[in-house]
Amino acid sequence: MVRVRFAPSPTGYLHVGGARAALFNWLFARHHKGIFILRMEDTDRTRSAYKFERAICDDLRYLGLDWDEGLEIGGDHGPYRQSEKLDVYRKCAKRLLKEELAYHCYCSAKELDLRRREALRKGIAPRYDNRCRNLTSRQVEEYRREGRRPAMRFKVPSGKVVVSDIVRGDVTFDCAELGDFIILRSDGVAAFLFANAIDDGQMTITHVIRGEDHLSNTPRQILLYRALGFNKPRFAHLPMILGPDHTRLSKRHGAASIAEYRRLGYLPEALLNYLALLGWYPPDGQEINSPEELIEEFSLEHVGKPAAIFDVDKLNWMNGYYIRHADLSSLTDLAIPYLREAGYLTASFNPERHRWLREIVGAVRGHLSCMSEITRRVDIFFERDLDIGPDVRKMLQRDQAREVLEALCDRLSRVADLTAVTFGNIAKELAMALGVKGKDLYLPIRAALTGRLEGPELRSVLPILGKEECIKRIKKALKTIMDYKL
């Protein structure tokens, strides 16, 4: 059975790259009816925080990525926090030490840093020179008298390691270039590579799907799987995610974390759909896909090697599509917090007015790329004293603008119920009576009612504003025309 894992470090919020890795693991597991595991690599004591662990779990749930085993759920292969397995890692390290597959290293951090800098100065790739591999008992005793606490290093054998990667093909590494690496730090805490390999082995992970920035770690982990007697999983290293300028994705390209996209009002369906297209190509080329369709079509063989470009404009387009097709009642519920924050709704908003608010959201959603933009679109319905700017004033000075507005005001005063149908009939009457159509007819009306030259369809705007408010705004616009001419 397929068993995959997502293993973030709770040192910050879930970023786009991490979310994409989690999604690909989830899709792979669901496609093969396997197990998706969530575990936390929290051995970084200074930076790990419980709030980040909670945030990561919340963001995964927001995206709809449920897990079958792991954090908060449990399972037969726990614990699922590395901080709860320190004794396990130490036991495995002692075993490697006993089998002479590892050794104590007494080099200080300062000494290692100096050697690294010297290698870089000479243009040599830094790696440990294995100088502590064959220490004499006298040298060990001298280091101990100095009070040095040793780390533990793995003895890298000679030869080559071939990583058979599903995405990148066979990648060969020369063991001579790896250098003996630390598996247990001097404070007794397991290094990332070591803890990661043990967790994969004990949790019987069959496939490791992660970013290509981890590819250089893979040969070391393969050596550890062998030394510890674990089955080697298959690997798939996903392409990097870059910004439109082909540099590593960062905040300068937009929001960096899923939490930020949630705050801005991106729908989970849109985020999930867009993340799936970062490096994976659906066989049929279809871009709008439900989770079920993604699961059905997903395969690692269709993941590309080139870097994926994170295009905010395309994400906005996709999110706009999902906003336009979302259930209107649910969309209105999503809009309420933004409208409250902007002061358009009070904390005691009457649920009985939900229908009125739903009409407003329905009118403007075609102009939204994310829900936080709604506050800039609905002011025309909440502000009773709209400012009329220079462009709008100029529009109202055009020929027949005054005639159109006076005729509309007259027609509105004689209708009992202002609906979209009613306005449509009035517009037809005005077009025939005044001999105007298109922009000459509708722009003066939009300018007078909204103070803008673009926005929601007028057949939606007028019924929401209501007859009395429409007449009031038209009269104000007419007065503006007269004042301007004077």
Residues with a known catalytic role? 251
CA distances (Å), origin 200, targets 52, 153, 221: 23, 20, 10
Burial class (CB in 10 A: 0-12, 13-18, 19+), 372: middle
Q: Which H or E run includes 242?
A: strand 241-242
CA–chain centroid gap for 370, Å, is 14
Q: What are the tokens at 478?
A: 């007419």
> CA 457, CA 39: separation in Å to the nearest integer?
49
**Token representation of residue 88:** 């396990």
Whole-angstrom Cα distance, residue 318 to residue 312?
Answer: 10
Q: Which amino acid does the sequence have at 241?
A: I
Stated as kind and residue range, the H or E segment containing 97 is helix 86-98
Element (H, E) at 70: strand 69-70
Residue 343: strand, helix, or coil: coil
Tell the burial category of 225 from Cβ atoms under 10 Å away from its Cβ (0-12, 13-18, 19+): middle
Whole-number Å distance between alpha carbons of 278 and 242: 10
First-to-last CA distance in the chain?
Answer: 83
Burial of 278 (0-12, 13-18, 19+ CB in 10 A): buried
Cβ atoms of 209 and 7 within 8 Å: the answer is: no
Q: 128-146 b/e with 16+ CB inside 10 Å = b?
A: beeebeebeeeeeeebeee
DSSP state of 230: P
Residue in this structure with the two tokens 């159509």, named with its chain if needed: 437
What residues contact 475, with CB distance under 8 A and at least 6 apart? 409
Instruction: Provide the 8-state DSSP code for 133.
Output: T
Q: Say how far apart CA 326 and CA 315 lie, in whole Å.
A: 16
Please give the single-letter amino acid code of residue 432. Answer: M
**Dihedral angle computed from the Cα positions of residues 8, 12, 15 and 17, in that order, rounded to the nearest 10 degrees:** -40
